[in-house]
Homo-oligomer: A and B are copies of this chain.
Amino acid sequence: MDIEPGQKAARRGRNAITIHDVAKHCGVSPMTVSRVINGETNVREETRQKVLASVAALNYSPSTSARTLASRDDTQIAVLYTNPSTSYLNEILIGALTQTGLSGCRLTIAKCEGLDEAVETVEDLAAAGIDGVLLPAPISNSNRVALALDRVNLPSVGIAAAQQPPGRTTIAVDDHAAAFAMTTRLIELGHTRIGFIKGHPNNRASDFRTEGFYAAMNAAGLDVDVDLVVQGYFDYHSGFEAAAVLLGRPDRPTAIFASNDDMAAGVLANAHSFGVHVPAELSVVGFDDTTTATTVWPELTTVRQPTVHMASEAVDLLLLQIRAKRAGAIFEPRRELRDFEIIERQTSAPAPKT
């Protein structure tokens, strides 16, 4: 177990150490090493340990290229994205990159401007021999894209999708449950007059979040004042204006739950104008935990989606589909739901005493 002086330089590229070196090192055939590496069961435990020791001693790591070449399993998946500044794209990329690295498949990215272009891009991807695509929201919600995918017979997994196009697999957070939990938290803090800003009406997530809010209020035996539920559009400006409505009322709410962070940030900005102190006089909470949440001040209490994790799971789900397709098997479309997390930062506090 001594550190050999010469071992460090032996890596990929030139004189990398191969499966043969390992085999020689522990006196077995390369085939046996291969079996151990790939976790096959038909190897004597004793042999396995010997091989493992050599692998560690030589700091061996198998060549991905040789592996995919020999196993004839060269799968390549793509992330289809629209706007590079979408705040969760980096998390998706991180999750996907991590998992593809582990699974030994290659990851490409493809950009498209709108839904029209997305349809085209899907066709290009298929023509280029891509085996499957990862679809971040909002593309994952599009039925047109789903249809294009069907047409070229390409597996996909939608990430953070609010809806699930027929026949397509998606992974997301339970918006209803999350909104329920956040509202309940506000109620626990003593708030009873809670304002709610709905999301964009063309997005199903908006409905689920709104319903979660109502459900939590009902569950707590609280009436919801319909004047305190106002329409928003998921952008800062609409949050700003909604706040004007809500805070302009004689009996203003002691808490405002905005359906996303951008709107919550808008509320925050307007609260300043109204001279109401957050969180002492008003709690403000958002949804999504985007960069906005920690950019503004005070930092937002919000709901976090496990985006990185969902993305890596999405890769696995995609691989499952691809293999099923290759094997001629059928893969039942799934809708996977993952747990959210409530991140309490500086904009939520107990309701002010009246």
Contact string against B for A residues 39-70, beta-carbon threshold 8 Å, 1 for contact and 0 otherwise: 00000000000000000000101011111110
Among residues of B, the one whose C-beta sits closest to the C-beta of A241 is B297
Does A295 interact with chain B (Cβ within 8 Å)? yes
Neighbour of A87 across the interface among B85, B262, B265, CB < 8 A: B85
Q: Is the CB of A93 within 8 A of B87?
A: no
Within 8 A of B (CB), among A259-287: 262, 265-266, 268-270, 272-273, 275
Bound complex: CA A101 to CA B131 (Å): 16
Q: Is the CB of B107 within 8 A of A97?
A: yes
Neighbour of A94 across the interface among B84, B98, B129, B237, CB < 8 A: B84
Q: Is the CB of B85 within 8 A of A93?
A: no
Query: Which of A68, A76, A111 lies at the interface centre, i.e. has the most chain B CB atoms within 10 A of its CB?
Result: A68
Neighbour of A85 across the interface among B73, B108, B294, CB < 8 A: B294
Bound complex: CA A294 to CA B308 (Å): 24
Q: Is the CB of A64 within 8 A of B61?
A: no
A11: B residues at CB distance < 8 A: 129
Q: How many copies does the complex hold?
A: 2
Bound complex: CA A269 to CA B270 (Å): 8
Q: Assuming the A-B contacts A85-B87, A87-B87, are A266 and B297 also in contact, with contact meaning beta carbons closer than 8 angstroms in the complex? A: yes
Q: Is the CB of A101 within 8 A of B94?
A: no
Bound complex: CA A292 to CA B294 (Å): 11
Does A127 interact with chain B (Cβ within 8 Å)? yes
Q: Is the CB of B59 within 8 A of A127?
A: yes
Does A213 interact with chain B (Cβ within 8 Å)? no
Does A236 interact with chain B (Cβ within 8 Å)? yes
Does A91 interact with chain B (Cβ within 8 Å)? yes
Does A291 interact with chain B (Cβ within 8 Å)? yes
Interface residues, chain A, with chain B CB atoms under 8 Å away? 11-14, 16, 59, 61, 63-69, 72-76, 81, 84-87, 89-91, 93-94, 97-98, 101, 106-109, 111, 127-129, 131, 235-237, 240, 262, 265-266, 268-270, 272-273, 275, 290-292, 294-297, 308, 326
What are some 14 contacts across the A-B interface (CB < 8 A)?
A: A11-B129, A12-B131, A16-B74, A65-B74, A85-B290, A87-B87, A87-B291, A93-B93, A101-B109, A235-B295, A235-B297, A236-B297, A269-B272, A290-B291
What 8 additional pairs, Cβ within 8 angstroms, besides A13-B75, A64-B74, A84-B94? A59-B127, A93-B94, A94-B111, A97-B97, A98-B109, A236-B297, A291-B291, A292-B295
